[in-house]
């Protein structure tokens, strides 16, 4: 019984380790929403490679698909992790109507790539003109992915999308963490005030109108004596 349980735990740990180490290619727009008539950039990145060890990335060949009614390709900028020393590598960008093919082949040695390449980095950043309103998918098609030794690599794909809407913000809305924190403070102070036999809210002196900043103060001895 114990041996079976131990084997199950070992298998689970191995599965988790394998999942955590999986290589992933991700598409990330510079903003989720942009206005028509402006430019938007999209970064293709990879993570899950070895950190100072194999596997490292030696080559990739991917297509980035998009809606041609909403986006028009302008240019591409490559990352530098397949050209560690800046001596040059082989790069091509081939746009079509609804996709852009991005290819890169490193000329660095396998030893240099395995020892010096980062485990996560940007492959390339593509710039588009926005031509109409709507939501365009941003999808990766993986043609080839190889390590520094010429072996094939497998990778998960995380696609994305970008919305072109007039008058919409380019940055995401702030998370409600500060409001939740203030709420917890109010509950805690009210509980403490109730437990000490005082009126709830006696410690809340003044609330500033600029939410969520709240000023707090401890009542003076005179105030305490009046509350008793």
- pLDDT of residue 155 exceeding 60: yes
Asked if residues 11 and 4 have their Cβ atoms less than 8 Å apart, the reply is no
| Residues contacting residue 132 through CB under 8 Å, at least 6 positions apart | 36, 69, 70, 164
- pLDDT of residue 203 exceeding 60: no
User: Phi and psi for 163 in degrees, rounded to 5?
Assistant: -100, 130
Instruction: Catalogue all structural domains in the chain, each as residue range(s) with its CATH number.
Output: 22-164 (2.60.40.680), 177-227 (no CATH)
Query: Environment class of residue 208 by beta-carbon count within 10 Å: exposed (0-12), middle (13-18) or buried (19+)?
Result: exposed
Token readout for 122 is: 């940007």
pLDDT in tens, 59-113: 999 999 999 999 999 999 999 999 999 999 999 999 999 999 999 999 999 999 9
Q: Please name every residue paired with 99 in a beta bridge, in sequence order, or none if there are none.
A: 65
Q: What is the pTM of this model?
A: 0.67
């Amino acid at each position: 019984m114990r041996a079976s349980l131990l084997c199950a735990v070992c298998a689970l740990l191995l599965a988790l380790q394998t999942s955590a180490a999986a290589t992933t290619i991700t598409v990330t727009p510079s903003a989720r929403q942009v206005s028509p008539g402006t430019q938007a950039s999209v970064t293709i990145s990879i993570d899950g490679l070895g950190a100072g060890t194999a596997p490292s990335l030696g080559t990739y060949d991917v297509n980035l698909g998009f809606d041609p009614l909403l986006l028009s390709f302008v240019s591409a900028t490559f990352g530098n992790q397949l050209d560690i020393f800046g001596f040059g590598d082989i790069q091509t960008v081939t746009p079509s109507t609804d996709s852009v093919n991005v290819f890169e082949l490193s000329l660095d040695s396998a030893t240099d790539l395995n020892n010096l390449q980062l485990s996560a980095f940007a492959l390339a950043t593509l710039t588009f003109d926005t031509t109409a309103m709507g939501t365009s998918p941003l999808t990766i098609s993986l043609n080839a992915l190889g390590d520094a030794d010429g072996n094939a690599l497998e990778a998960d794909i995380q696609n994305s999308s970008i919305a072109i809407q007039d008058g919409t913000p380019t940055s995401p809305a702030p998370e409600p963490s500060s409001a939740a924190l203030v709420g917890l403070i109010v509950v805690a102070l009210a509980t403490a005030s109730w437990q000490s036999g005082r009126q709830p809210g006696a410690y809340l002196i003044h609330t500033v109108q600029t939410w969520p900043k709240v000023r707090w103060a401890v009542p003076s001895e005179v105030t305490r004596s009046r509350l008793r």
